[in-house]
Amino acid sequence: MPSVSFLAAAHWLERLLGKVHENDQHKALLWDFHDKARQLVEYGEWDNMLPCLKRLTHDVKGNKKWVTLDGDIFFQDLLAARLNKADSQQDKDNLNELINSLQQLNNSVYTEHPSPFYAVLLMDGDSLGDALKIAGNDVKISKALAAFTQGVKGIVEKHCGFLVYAGGDDVLALLPLENALNCADKLQRFYKTCFEAEQLNATLSGAIQFAHINTPLTHLLHNAHDLLDNIAKAQTGRDSIAVRVWKRSGKALEWAMPWSLATSDDELLIHQSLKRFAGQDAYDPLPANQFFYRIRDLFAILEPVPEKQTDIHWYCKDDADFQALEQQQLSLLAAEYKQSGLVDSTLHIENAKAQIKGLLSQCRLSRRYICPETEQVQFEYSRYLQADAAFLIRFLANHGMWEARL
């Protein structure tokens, strides 16, 4: 299994090697870094080649050596911590040389630093036991699960991840930060397809934990089950995705949404908004950062979310009161957006509404449920807005570099 630091650095390393491919001077700097690293670490990832790095081993002779070194060496903070604990002067000298070599790479070849965050993805089928109670379903379900299990590894690897476990309707995988949400979305779509092939309806809920590489994996695995069972399933109504981001000081945010409300035109609405707010400096993501803090304050002023779920009043989409409330909230958010500096302040208010509507929908506390009378899936919406969706977008846009400071 790859180390979490190697997973976190995977796409940074991929981009770094892409830049040195045609530049002999940059290649020399990379080999200097490699040689200094080899004095301190082994090829700890030799047997854990991630799919997104495999192709690089064929581009330039010796590339496999570059992409299989211990993942810790790509992080200056981890090297500095190792330096503080070093016993011998030789180790201290070697570490100082390696830190200087890494800084040279950052200054001369690729100015970005690797994200110190990675993702743990846990997924589980919804109410499969109920389907098994129906006579004749057991064979169909077995076929659907076999097809799903067979296809899971390919989907995870396509997203540069490592599949820890896939059995029946359970999936556990480790992924780079950039790939986790899309991987979960593709898996839940594939799960439905496998069951539809057997004329059955089935859904898959997911829990994603984004965490700093210093966070113990056992802590994340324990919390992943809580996130999946209590938030994605019990609170959001199954067929849902739930996300937590952990910074070093504790939980930074939590967001959950039914899959059907989290996507539009086969794309995650979080990612659609990410494209709109991306492009800011990873270390100081302003003015988008100011806008996200402003809407958090705005949401708190409009109406704070009750502490108890039982105190939340839910609306149907076609409820006249809810539609009026939604338009009022959209107008307020669009006005803030126009004044944020992210767009021209002369942008027509209706265009501003269209650009910000997807973000608003992901900030709304919503849930899925089965109507007892019709046994049909329906969705309910609250009047309450939470800014965690916006801060998840910020987290993804700057690859966790802002949260890494905290």
Please state the domain count of the chain. 3
- pLDDT tens, 45-55? 777 778 888 76
User: Is 110 or 17 the better-scoring residue by pLDDT?
Assistant: 17
Cβ neighbours, 10 Å, residue 81 = 13
Q: Please check whether residues 177 and 252 belong to one and the same domain.
A: yes
pLDDT at position 261 is: 98
**CA–CA distance, 364 with 356 (Å, rounded to integer):** 13
> Could you tell me if 98 and 138 lie in one domain?
no
Question: Do 143 and 41 belong together in one domain?
Answer: no
Nearest residue to 178 via CA among 153, 162, 161, 154: 161
pLDDT band at 393 (very low <50, low <70, confident <90, very high): very high
Instruction: Please identify, among 109, 131, 146, the residue that sits at the C-terminal boundary of a domain.
Output: 109
The pLDDT assigned to 212 comes to: 95
pLDDT tens per residue, range 86-106? 889 998 999 999 999 999 888
Give the pLDDT of residue 351: 95
Statement to judge: residues 212 and 131 lie in one domain: yes
CATH number at residue 183: 3.30.70.270
Summarised one tens digit per residue, pLDDT across range 136-177 is 788 999 999 999 999 999 999 999 999 999 998 999 999 999
**Domain identity same for 330 and 272:** yes
Same-domain check for residues 252 and 329? no
Report how far residue 96's alpha carbon sits from residue 277's, in angstroms, rounded to the nearest whole number.
Answer: 38
Backbone phi, psi, residue 178, to 5°: -65, -20
**Same structural domain, 45 and 70:** yes
Tell me the pLDDT tens digit for each residue of 221-266.
989 999 999 999 999 999 999 999 998 888 999 999 999 999 998 8
- pLDDT value of position 74: 92
What is the domain range of residue 14? 4-109
- CA dihedral defined by 225, 229, 231, 235, rounded to 10 degrees? -170
- Please report, for residues 36, 243, 376, the alpha-carbon distance to residue 127 in angstroms, rounded to integers and kept in the order given: 54, 21, 15
Q: Could you tell me if 179 and 234 lie in one domain?
A: yes
Q: What is the pLDDT of residues 22-69, one digit of tens each?
A: 788 888 888 888 899 888 888 777 777 788 887 666 554 556 777 778
Residues 295, 257 share a domain: no
Q: How far apart are CA 165 and CA 152, in angstroms?
A: 9
Shared domain for 188 and 257, answered yes or no, is yes
Domain boundary, last residue among 109, 135, 159: 109
* Domain identity same for 102 and 195: no
Judge if 229 and 341 occupy the same domain: no
Strands 250-258 and 204-212: unpaired
> Beta strands 250-258 and 170-176: pairing type?
unpaired
Residue owning tokens 């090697």: 17
Strands 117-125 and 162-167: unpaired
- Which of 66, 87, 109 delimits the end of a domain? 109
